[in-house]
Structure 1
Amino acid sequence: MELKISMYDSWKLLTLGTLVGCLLFLVLDKTHQNISLSIARFASLPIKASNFNINYSVGIPNEKTKQNCNIFDGRWVYKPEDRNASYDARNCPFVEEKMSCHKNGRPDFEFLKWRWEANDCEIPVFNGKDMLERLRNKRVILVGDSLNRNMWESLACLLHSSIPSSNVQLRDNSKVPRLFWKAKDYNMTVEFYWSPFLVDLNLNHESGKTVLVLDKLSPNSEMWTGADVMVFNSGFWWVQPGSAKRWDYIEYKGKLIQEMSMEQAYETGMKTWANWIEKNVDPNKTTVFFRSISAEHKTKTPEKWCYNKTKLALVDYYAAVYPKILVDIIERLIKRFSKSQVKYLNITKLSRYRIEAHPGIYRYKDWKNLTEHTDDIVTLRPDCSHWCLPGVPDTWNKLLYASLFFDL
């Protein structure tokens, strides 16, 4: 059968096709206008950050799905709506003067508005009362240098702000380098032991010299035994050059050694610590952490120091200088343990971007007077190693809390 279409039918089809085409064009055009308008409105939104002209996250999320979440792999996200810190250092009795930046006159609060977010999971929100309850009748000890004291002060303030101050006990024992905070209602303590090398630094050696004994643990190690949570660190004091070097001789297997590479000495000393953990710590009763090296933003180039920085370091040019060889050594050593024996609190990456969060010149109460009388602020030795409180160590403790009690 032959199909015939009249001229009238052809006109109707043409008209219908034209109408459909017009409708499609109008729909697509309206959609395009809406998208364009949304983009235009988004682009015109004001930036809320008072000292920033951008709104961004530091670090690029990993699109790959992981079976286990690494809470130390993430990015700093600016949260200007978070106006209140976890505690007020001016009202926390545990913060050293040089860490209490706002008490010493630091005028800005921007460094408190950044939050660390993991790439592949939600980090549990820190809850001080929950941590106290979980650690009822337990001891938490932090052992190491002043960076671990920085962390101890932060943890004490975080927990102290969760309970009435009348239920707290504090001791500072100068004979045994120890800080002791106790929540009496929970019978829970947080203690700090000064031991920057973890091994013995003998100040009274028979030679009359200061001797670093690589195969003997720190004398206060007898007080570590029995703790339920242990957090160690060591690294900063091993790499101090020239007159800042802390020892005259090294002792190993009963022999005094004048020259040994820093890398060899550090690895030998850390093996002594690791052997002590294996022999003296029951992983069924005690959780052990080694906190990684905290970035120092101080180099031979003064303009790269922290004292005049108010923004994060976005590129490696301004990122921290830290002894990567020590990072490699301790990471190799920790791999010899099972995860139940020693956990790695890896805060190196997250701290290296935070060039603006150090005390700098605000370590001094009289910083105004000091800066008025010098043209070279570097001579004042601004603190680019420790951290303002509240600040970055609070994040370390929030990750400690997450690592202790959540299966991530």
Structure 2
Amino acid sequence: MESLLSPVLNRKLLLCAIASFLGFLLLSCSLQRASRPSTAIASLTHLESTSAMADLAGVSVPAPAPQPATAATIYSPPPQSAMEVEMVAASPSELVLAMNSSPGSSQAVHPSPPADGGEETTVEEKKCDIFEGKWVFDRWRYPLYQPHWCPFLSDQVSCRRNGRPDSEYEHWRWQPSGCDLPRYNGREMLEKWRGKRVVIVGDSLNRNMWESLACMLYSSVRKERAVVKQRSSDYKLFRALDYDCSVEFFWSPFLVELKEREDHAKILKLDKIFANGRRWLGADVMIFNTGHWWMHHGKMRAWNYFQRGDQVTEDMEAAVAFNRALRTWARWVDRNVNPRKTIVFFRSISPEHKTENLHFCYNQTKPITNERYVQWFPKSMVDIVERTIRKMTIPVTYLNITRLSEYRRDAHTAIYTSRQGKLLTIEQRLDPTRHADCSHWCLPGLPDTWNVLLFASIMTSSSSIISSTN
């Protein structure tokens, strides 16, 4: 029996061995196929990676074509270029910044918040300087009003009424570099100033600004619901009854007091604010300026002596006197103005275009298009204003209209104006070197832009003073 079973057993053992060997070979082949990456999966993985990066950059990538199903579940990702490795290694915020920003770009980037729930990081946006830019001719949007809409405009600024033949000076719009000004809307301005009192204090250039602002607002209301009072050149008032809003002008060319003695000598008191200063108090918006009167000489000079404390002197450099007066004004503002109640502005010097500036205003119809300009007002006095404002406790917004106004030699009243309450005669107009007014500005005209910039400053202000009502 043992001899009969042995051959059968041997054959079975041989078959088992062969089967095991074949199974081992099949298993090895299967493992080798599984270890090689599927072309379809590798392509899909690359597209998914590209799509993810494109999503971060805001770029649309077409979806991949459908691929046949595969049973493989183990694969190695395809090799990446050095650039791809660097981009994948970066954080999401770094990736967006790298793909969306260019050198020198001021555009703010707002990446997605990190996955760990931390605070969102942003690249700080560079604030646009609305006082840097260029003049653009805009016949459709400018002027903002017609002069006959405002019968109260004085002869000093009513150039068209006084016979000026050209009108292109009315159609120039200021365009800041890198941003746009909010389009001026008189009713929106009045709504912002509902229940508010605006006070403009300074010389005749601030009176020029008041006339412009009063006309811009007057053109936006029903005439029977507006009040305009001009008791004298020293005080003017515009009031919009439906908005309970008033805009006042107070004449104070030095901001400090000018007093006449019994002997008729005029004393400029450098340490005492203008006598009407108490009437400025309580305003929601204050707009100050001074400058031109400090540079007058000879018969044009308004004072005979300077006084500081008990000391009276005839000789003092204009810049020194100006500095002391500005410090007096700054102390008055710091002591008397409540920053939770009032926003304070200081308008920079309004440029002149006389013969010594190399750009005489007479007979000019186009803005200056080159940089060849000699400032009439000393830079040292401009520096005094800016330094004084920086040192103040109360925040003051600087309306820096000087440079943008320097280009507008065409916008002055020139010979189409009045002097001492009387229009220039024909003989005076024929002698522009002596009689042309290259200080004040036609209306409509440049001061309208000053008020548009004021409007923009208020609209973008973070202060709650204007947005709240009393």
* TM-score band w.r.t. shorter chain: 0.7 to 0.9
The reply on whether 1:201 has 2:258 as its aligned counterpart is yes
Structure-2 change in CA distance of 1:129 and 1:80 (3 Å): closer
Structure-2 change in CA distance of 1:275 and 1:310 (3 Å): same
Name the SS of the counterpart of 2:366 in structure 1: coil
Q: Which has the larger radius of gyration?
A: 2
Is the CA contact 2:287–2:347 (under 8 Å) kept in the aligned structure 1? yes
Higher RCO, Cα 8 Å, sep 6+? 1
Contact 1:319 1:355 in 2 (8 A): no
d(CA) in 1 for partners of 2:105, 2:323: 34
Residue 315 (structure 1) aligned to one of 352, 362, 370? 370
1:297 touches 1:319 (CA, 8 Å); kept in 2? no
Residue from 140, 152, 175 that aligns with 2:198: 140
Name the structure 2 match of 1:173.
231
Alpha-carbon distance, 1:79 to partner:
2.3
- Given candidates 237, 242, 252, the residue that maps to 2:298 is 242
- CA 1:368–1:237: 2 relative to 1, 3 Å: closer
Asked if structure 2 preserves the Cα contact closer than 8 Å seen for 1:230 and 1:287, the reply is yes
Could you tell me which residue of structure 2 aligns to residue 328 of structure 1?
383
Uncovered stretches (5+) of structure 2, i.e. residues with no partner: 1-103, 107-124, 463-470
Q: Does 1:260 align with 2:310?
A: no
Give the Cα–Cα distance (whole angstroms) in 2 for the partners of residues 299 and 288 of structure 1: 35
Alignment of structure 1 residues 99-110 onto 2, 5 Å: 99-110=157-168
Query: What's the offset of the Cα at 1:75?
Result: 1.2
- Cα distance, 1:317 vs structure 2: 2.9
Whether contact under 8 Å (2:202, 2:253) holds in the other structure is yes
Alpha-carbon distance in 2 for matches of 1:221, 1:385: 26
Q: Distance in 2 between matches of 1:252 and 1:128?
A: 44
Contact 1:94 1:156 in 2 (8 A): no
- The 10-residue stretch of structure 1 (277-286 or 73-82) with the greater mean CA deviation from structure 2: 73-82
Matched residue SS, 2:276 = helix
What is the TM-score normalised by the length of structure 1? 0.79
Shift of 1:253: 1.1
1:3-402 correspondence runs (5 A)? 65=106, 67-82=126-141, 84-174=142-232, 177-203=234-260, 205-300=261-356, 304-318=359-373, 320-337=375-392, 341-364=395-418, 369-370=426-427, 374=430, 376-379=431-434, 381-402=435-456
Conservation of the 8 A alpha-carbon contact between 1:141 and 1:224:
yes
Return the alpha-carbon distance in structure 1 between the equivalents of residues 286 and 461 of structure 2: 19
TM-align CA RMSD: 2.0
Q: Give yes or no for contact 2:255–2:274 (8 Å, CA) kept in 1.
A: yes
Cα deviation 1:344-372 (Å, max 9, x = unaligned): 01100110000000010111586572367
| Corresponding residue number in structure 1 for 2:72 | none
Compare 292-301 and 348-357 and name the one that shifted more: 292-301
Bigger shift: residues 265-274 or 356-365: 356-365
Structure 1: segments with no counterpart, 5+ residues: 1-62
Q: Which runs of 4+ in 1 moved over 4 A?
A: 364-368
Alpha-carbon contact 1:198-1:218 (below 8 Å) kept? yes
Give the conservation status (yes or no) of the 8 Å contact 1:358–1:388.
yes
Other structure's SS at 1:384 match? strand
Q: Secondary structure at the match of 1:104?
A: coil
User: Structure 1 104/261 Cα, relative in aligned 2: closer, same or farther at 3 Å?
Assistant: same
Cα distance in 2 for partners of 1:371, 1:218 equals 35
The CA deviation string for residues 171-210 of structure 1, in whole angstroms up to 9 with x for no partner, is 2234x9311110011111000000000000112x245310
- Is contact 1:319–1:353 with CA below 8 Å preserved after alignment? no
Judging changes above 3 Å, is the alpha-carbon distance between structure 1 residues 80 and 138 closer, same or farther for their aligned structure 2 residues?
Answer: closer
- C-alpha distance in 2, partners of 1:240/1:299? 16
- Distance in 1 (CA, whole Å) between partners of 2:186 and 2:167 is 23
Partners of 1:169 and 1:178 in 2: CA distance: 14
> Are 2:149 and 2:219, in contact at CA under 8 Å, matched by a contact in 1?
no
Rounded to whole Å, the distance in 2 between the matches of 1:80 and 1:127 is 17
For 1:159, give the aligned amino acid: L
Write the deviation string for residues 319-351 of structure 1: whole angstroms up to 9, x where unpaired: 65323221111011111136x621101100110
The CA distance in 1 between the partners of 2:223 and 2:374, in whole Å, is 39
CA distance in 1, matches of 2:391, 2:291: 19
Distance 1:351 1:167 in 2: 33
Contact 1:201 1:213 (C-alpha < 8 Å) held by counterparts: yes
Tell me if the contact between 1:167 and 1:183 (Cα under 8 Å) persists in the aligned partners. Answer: yes
What fraction of aligned residue pairs are identical, expressed as a percent?
A: 46
Deviates more, 1:87-96 or 1:144-153: 87-96
Q: TM-score of the superposition, structure 2-length normalised? A: 0.69
